[in-house]
Amino acid sequence: MKIAVVGVTGMVGQLILKVLNERKFSVCNLIPVASEKSVNKLVTFKSKQYKIISIEDAIVLNPEIVIFSAGSSISLKYAPLFANKGIFVIDNSSAWRMDMDKKLIIPEINANLLRKEDKIIANPNCSTIQMLMVLAPLHKKYNIKRVVVSTYQSVSGTGVKAVKQLENEENNVSENKVYPHQIYKNCLPHCDDFTENDYTKEELKLVNETHKILDKSIRLTATAVRVPVEGGHSESVNVEFEKDFEIDDIKRLLEKTAGVVVQDDVSKNIYPMPIIAKDKDDVFVGRIRRDFSQEKSLNLWIVADNLRKGAATNAVQIAEFIKTNFL
């Protein structure tokens, strides 16, 4: 199978190659794609070196699947050019997520919606993916009415320049900053740009993508915070259900959910943390407890590696589904 990765030199692009290798995805010909400044440089995949080419050249080579991780503007311009040739496009940016004609897919939840004619498939936002991996089975059994989520998002979610800013500030080096304030020893209630209603785009993604993937009737409000952690997003999630529940039943249900790991033994200080989730594909959930201030309500703490299940792994899982069902 010929598979192209657009944005192959970036943090997520490099991780896509790693995940393809780890999951033994059948690739007979890798087509690495990046910006003009990277063309003709080499990338290594499965002990073999491949020369980076331009996106225009990649279109001519007719890969069966192309995974985009190069930003919305690139995807909006080039994804249709691949799709028009019958090539499956999996896009990591926000470009197509809320397009009514495009599917927004978390394979464990809604891969069954995909059809062979779906040529552009959107990967949800990293924060949405980890939250819904936990909420989807609970919604199916207890019917979620309302969600209040506060995120604690690592700097890797912004990109390599943000990781560099954190490292520079820790080492007292003054260079260009990605964030409007210091992130080292600080927290910024500011993920992505602010919109006219004073919510950030990141906060609205959690709302809109939950409605599209899970249920439009769920009332959801979010506060997204950037924290001085290099990798791994954490979320404090309060959920109100229509049906009542027992905590033990909630835990048993989540323990049976593919891709979810329950870490919840406070007597032994066991609960999810970004350092535990690092380099893992699972979503971790703990601090599972009843909210005594509101009937039929639950508190959860959800953690995942935002670059893996939140981006690269989810995209590769979509590619696996396409390969199995449509190619």
Residues with a known catalytic role: 126, 233
CA 19 – CA 319 distance, rounded (Å): 11
Distances (CA, A) of 222 to 25, 36, 199, 204, 323: 36, 38, 8, 8, 35
Distance CA 34, CA 44 (A): 14
What string of DSSP letters covers 16-83? HHHHHHHTT---SEEEEE--GGGTT-EEEETTEEEE-B-HHHHHHT--SEEEE-S-HHHHHHHHHHHH
Using alpha carbons, select from 265, 299, 261, 257 the residue that is nearest to residue 281.
Answer: 261
Give dist(CA 280, CA 132) in Å, integer. Answer: 17
Of residues 89, 138, 83, 140, the one with CA closest to residue 260: 138
